[in-house]
Structure 1
Amino acid sequence: MTRRRMIAISAAAAGMALLPPHGKAAQGAVTWQGEAMGAQASLVIHHPDRAMAQRLTNDVVAEVRRLERIFSLYRDDSDLTHLNRQRFLIAPPRELVDILQQCRDVRMLTGGAFDPTVQPLWDAYRRHFSTPGASEAGPSAQVVRECLRRVGLDWVASSPDRIELSVPGAALTLNGIAQGYVTDRVVDLLKAGGIESSLVDMGESHAIGSAPGDRPWRVGVSDPLDSTRILKVLEVEDRAVATSSPFGFRFDEAGIFSHIIDPRSGATPQRHASVTVVAGQAALADALSTAFNLMDADAITAAVHGNADVEVHILSHEGGWTRIGA
């Protein structure tokens, strides 16, 4: 029940040409293929110094692996898994404390529509629809109410010394923000290594500088029902783009219950076909695109009011687009 997404990073130092991951590599280019954050990954670094390209490649792969061991919900040895299992962590990783603070900021901005403590509800839907003969109406109202008692970041205490889940049965998921956070970290590594032009795509996209020819990068927004069909193209420079859709994963065959669960009600409303957010950081774009799927256009407008850093593109179920902000 994970979303499998292709990760592709193509990075170039100043003056070097960018090539597609499977194209002919320029002199000094280093390539890597494997798996990262639960998806197939490819990485191409173009640099006049091949040794530098290899070092950057190694650094990116090592950093992604390190962050997986902190944030992954699907690894038994991750810090997040340990936290959910024992309800506390002593001397937690700095990145885990940082991402929880970002979660608090987005939760406040969205009126509670984004909350990483929603995991008990996700587990309840999974258990229900994994049971033979389960009701098509979903988990009972009583089950949802019981889960909601464990939901809420107010129940999570976090500091550089300790993170604690104060309610029995509480659990965190960072699936709505972690890929954006990792994307931002990869961008930081590439910039520190002298990369001035790159489009980093780790499920969420982040453009470094401009594309070859001093043009904006072009990021396609796919049809949520057909990933091969591009419905909209956004032009970005030094900006991140994230898209979330209730069609990304649905628990039931009828498609009524999606993976985007409202932490305030426990329901899985499908207000929009997809929501795409453009922002300065991929973590923010990632989290907002998730939360905005649970909010109407007026609430989204209020959330981004006065924030020139955020631009929102909403795809309706009828196929129309609404743009908010920027």
Structure 2
Amino acid sequence: MTNSARRRFIGIVAATSALALAPGLLRRAQAAIVPTCWKGVALGADAELRLYHPDPRAAEQLIERALQELHRLEGLFSLYRDDSALSVLNRQGYLADPPSDLVRLLSESRHYADLTGGLFDPSVQPLWRVYADHFARAGASPAGPAQTDVAQALKHVSYKAIDVDTQRIRLQPGMALTLNGIAQGYITDRVTELLRNAGLERALVDMGEIRGLDASANAAGWKVGLADPLAPEQILAQVPVSNQALATSGGYGTPLDAAGQYTHLFDPRSGQARPLYRSVSVMASTATAADALSTAFSNMPLADCAAVVRDQGVTAWMVLPDGKLVTQSGLV
């Protein structure tokens, strides 16, 4: 299964009308702008852009520029393209003169790995191979791959063993990387920055994770629904997103086995593929942070999550195995 199911975790419910409530004809005119929209796919996941621009033609041109940036970054981070920089790195074990965005994202990955005690780790790709190969075999044991195979894969899982600088990226033999736990957020941020730098004041960007852009004061933004993991077609909670980003990780969106017991959310310490929560959502100032933290929190006890939440000033929603929703906030 591809990660396209991940987009069922969160969905845009509605745009608020806060601008219309503000005084002044200019704000009323801004609020009345009908968004120019695009829907498609980014890194195998559903994606969407909503640009609020008084000139639809100019908005379409900005969308074209945003899609060019999306496609450029997909050419770096995608595991589904054999010619991507990441795929070449995994195949060769090294990459000379690496693209600056790949160096930057791996540096960001190291930051979030350090921050979460290694629970965010882009080097878990060998674990995915072990589990995917096991469940692809006819008559595969529902108990998962042999522990000896998992232990062997774990020998090649260590974010600290990734050698990165502007001249070269080198992996240890047997290592392979995945950026699926952070790349959607990074692309969302890069597209948002492109639109802001072009002078756009209001937009909703969803390149796998959601980020709002609104230059107006006290903007209420958009209402975003968090899916109920026990009934994904239903909304468990609604949260407002304005000049923040929201990301969700949930194993039920990408099961590795027919029973849905094993997922892509690997614990880099044990090699297990059964996260602690049905889903984790994080709201942060950037989509990169929200994406990485939601991935890491999936295998982090609540008390440890709370410490990071407080330290980083983010908000997190964890859906426990029994369906109970726990909210943690580090905002003051």
TM-score (norm 1): 0.89
Q: 1:112 aligns to what?
A: 118
Cα 1:304/1:31, change in 2 over 3 Å: closer
- Residue 197 of structure 1: how far off its partner (Å): 1.8
Q: 2:315 aligns to what?
A: 311
Residues 37 and 179, structure 1, Cα contact 8 Å, conserved in 2: yes
Mapped partners of 2:262, 2:207: distance in 1: 26
Does 1 or 2 have the higher relative contact order (CA < 8 Å, sep 6+)?
2
Residues 100 and 166, structure 2, Cα contact 8 Å, conserved in 1: yes
Normalized per residue, the structure richer in helix is 2
> What is the aligned counterpart of 1:142 among 144, 148, 173?
148
- Residue 207 of structure 1: how far off its partner (Å): 1.1
Q: 1:129 aligns to what?
A: 135
**Most deviating of 203-212 and 59-68:** 203-212
Q: 1:87 aligns to what?
A: 93
Q: 1:181 aligns to what?
A: 186
Residues 17 and 212, structure 1, Cα contact 8 Å, conserved in 2: no
Cα 1:91/1:230, change in 2 over 3 Å: same
Are residue 302 (structure 1) and residue 307 (structure 2) matched? yes
Q: Which residues in structure 2 correspond to 1:198-277 (within 5 Å)?
A: 198-209=203-214, 214-277=219-282
> What is the aligned counterpart of 2:82 among 76, 81, 84?
76
Mapped partners of 1:280, 1:212: distance in 2: 16
Task: Report the secondary structure of 1:286's partner residue.
Answer: helix
- Residue 272 of structure 1: how far off its partner (Å): 1.1
2:3 is matched by which residue type in structure 1? R
Residues 210 and 217, structure 1, Cα contact 8 Å, conserved in 2: no
Aligned residues: 316
Mapped partners of 2:64, 2:146: distance in 1: 49
Mapped partners of 1:274, 1:32: distance in 2: 27
Residues 52 and 203, structure 2, Cα contact 8 Å, conserved in 1: no
| Long gaps (5+) in structure 2 | 20-25
Residues 92 and 161, structure 1, Cα contact 8 Å, conserved in 2: yes
Task: Report the secondary structure of 2:58's partner residue.
Answer: helix
Are residue 48 (structure 1) and residue 54 (structure 2) matched? yes
- Residue 175 of structure 1: how far off its partner (Å): 0.3
Q: How big is each residue's C-alpha offset from its partner over 1:182-204, in whole Å with a ceiling of 9 and x where there is no partner?
A: 00011101111222222212221
TM-score (norm 2): 0.87
Mapped partners of 1:265, 1:44: distance in 2: 41
Identical residues among aligned pairs (%): 43
Please provide the CA RMSD for this pair. Answer: 2.6
Mapped partners of 1:321, 1:41: distance in 2: 26
Mapped partners of 2:39, 2:253: distance in 1: 24
Mapped partners of 2:79, 2:130: distance in 1: 16
1:95 is matched by which residue type in structure 2? D
- Residue 30 of structure 1: how far off its partner (Å): 5.1
- Residue 34 of structure 1: how far off its partner (Å): 3.9
Task: Report the secondary structure of 1:99's partner residue.
Answer: helix
Q: 1:323 aligns to what?
A: 327
| Long gaps (5+) in structure 1 | 20-25
